[in-house]
Amino acid sequence: MAAISNPGGTEVTDGEAVPLVDVARSLEPVIREHAPALEEGRIPPPLVEALHDAGVFRAMLPREVGGLEAEPVEWLQMIEELSRINASAGWLAFIQSGVGLTFLDPERFERFRVRGGGRLILAMNLGRIAGKAVKVEGGYRISGRWPFASGCPFATWLGGMSYVCDSGGSPVLGANGQPQLLLAIWPADQARLIDTWDGLGLRGTGSGDFEISGLFVPQEQVNAGFYSATSYDRALFRMKEMPEMGHGAHALGIASAALESFVDAVNSRPLAGSTRHMAMGHMQAHQIAFARADAAIRAARALLHQSVRAAYEDATAHSELSLELRVRLREANIFTVRAAKDAVGLVFEMAGSSAVYRGRPIERAFRDINTAANHTNYLDTAYTAIGSYFLTRDREGGPEIAGRPFL
């Protein structure tokens, strides 16, 4: 049964449109089947095949290269549903959705896809400038080691940010006096994978390190405009923050799974002699805490979706997303991740000792959300830039962060 991409984010299968959230639900059996392997830190090839063939890894790619070019909120709903089923699978789904590849025009994309054995799945780290790139004829020689590269065990291409350096290894400064940076990608078999991933949660994401030393990277595999540059001038690709919004949807899915598991526990037959289980969910404190957690998740989801819809509408009408909407996207994303973490914490506490055993749904949710929410961009301190913007946006010369223009 062949599926083709369709504008708006739905898959078209045998002539019928299928919402992406239903695509996610159709994958639940195969994800559940391979959940034990994910918990052991392995990413089974059949699961990768299923996610790829369903279009999950093409969701945010342009139509010209076989992508779904998903409608943003529909994509968020798919990521949330996949993350409800399994947090590691949901993480891979949004990390590997095509981010970092839209600087490739269709001709280059096809060449790179062929070189990747028929697939172009990119794993990289954009948060750390861990490489040194020396300009040589036809490209660069790059050395470096990049951590936290989710999906690198099955990626066909790898990539990372580097400082442009002279032959002596000193950074080359640009016209603004700052070091020049570039993003480069290369076939995965040209790098050395280093299995460093033994995290608290999200154990099945393969978020290890990779390393290259003196690798020649041709100019066509380098993007001097960084990952935010695009060869496709349409609304989805004008929203540079859109791939990041997957963090919020991922967190919502984990929290939803925790809430569902607690409801199941409350409505299951109490364990013999367990007064705690018999009282679970019937105490006023539990009822209040559950309602607070549920309300927080609903509010976060509403804010996330509303913010994304507003940004998508603006990006459809304008060539560049307004700074105000960019700030509101970041604010909504931080709020959603923090709200989900708090909600899972409430459920974990209500479940008591039954939630501390490794492998139980609430225990997994607790580990997964605390791992995801410990990302630098989603700590409470990430609100600093948001608050600074709103406090100084109407000031002459503003907005500012710590006395500098807001970026």
pLDDT tens series, the chain, 407 aa:
233 334 445 554 555 678 999 999 999 999 999 999 999 999 999 999 999 999 999 999 999 999 999 999 999 999 999 999 999 999 999 999 987 888 889 999 999 999 989 999 999 988 899 999 999 999 999 999 999 999 999 999 999 999 999 999 899 998 889 999 999 999 999 999 999 999 999 999 999 999 999 999 999 999 876 656 678 999 999 998 999 999 999 999 999 999 999 999 888 776 666 666 667 778 998 999 999 999 999 999 999 999 999 999 999 999 999 999 999 999 999 999 999 999 999 999 998 888 888 889 999 999 999 999 999 899 999 999 999 999 999 988 778 775 555 54
Q: Give the three-state DSSP class for 208.
A: strand
Q: Does residue 181 form part of some domain?
A: yes
Burial code of 85-102, b = ≥16 C-beta within 10 A, e = fewer?
Answer: bbbbbbbbbbbbbbbbbb
Specify whether 190 is located in the same domain as 62.
no
Token code pair at residue 318:
């304008």
**Helix then strand then coil, % of the chain, to nearest 5:** 50, 20, 30
Specify whether 213 is located in the same domain as 241.
no
Specify whether 348 is located in the same domain as 244.
yes
Total domains, the chain: 3
Specify whether 250 is located in the same domain as 276.
yes
Specify whether 153 is located in the same domain as 264.
no
Q: Which of 71, 95, 119 is the last residue of a domain?
A: 95
| CATH classification at residue 86 | 1.10.540.10
Specify whether 334 is located in the same domain as 393.
yes
Q: Which of 193, 223, 253 is the last residue of a domain?
A: 223
**Rounded distance between C-alpha atoms, residue 393 and residue 96, angstroms:** 35
Q: Does residue 230 form part of some domain?
A: no
Q: Does residue 58 form part of some domain?
A: yes
**Rounded distance between C-alpha atoms, residue 255 and residue 362, angstroms:** 9
Give the list of residues 6+ apart from residue 22 with CB closer than 8 angstroms, or none: none
Q: Which of 171, 194, 223 is the last residue of a domain?
A: 223
Q: Considering only CA atoms, which of 304, 208, 290, 284 is closest in space to residue 256?
A: 290
Burial code of 25-45, b = ≥16 C-beta within 10 A, e = fewer?
Answer: eebeebbeebbeebbebebbe
Specify whether 82 is located in the same domain as 213.
no
Q: Does residue 100 form part of some domain?
A: no
Specify whether 244 is located in the same domain as 219.
no
Specify whether 268 is located in the same domain as 401.
yes
Enter the pTM of the model. 0.92
Q: Give the three-state DSSP class for 268.
A: coil
Specify whether 200 is located in the same domain as 341.
no
Specify whether 153 is located in the same domain as 76.
no
Strands (E), 105-156: 122-136, 139-149
Q: Does residue 228 form part of some domain?
A: no
Specify whether 324 is located in the same domain as 361.
yes
Q: Does residue 134 form part of some domain?
A: yes
Strands 157-165 and 122-136, by their bridges, are parallel
| CATH classification at residue 148 | 2.40.110.10
Burial code of 167-189, b = ≥16 C-beta within 10 A, e = fewer?
Answer: eeeeeeeeeeeeebbbbbbbbbe
Q: Give the three-state DSSP class for 139.
A: strand
- Spatial contact of 364 and 253, defined as CB atoms under 8 Å apart: no
Q: Does residue 185 form part of some domain?
A: yes
Three-class DSSP labels, 360-397: CHHHHHHHHHHHHCCCHHHCHHHHHHHHHHHHHCCCCC
Find the domain containing 75 and state its range: 3-95
Q: Does residue 101 form part of some domain?
A: no
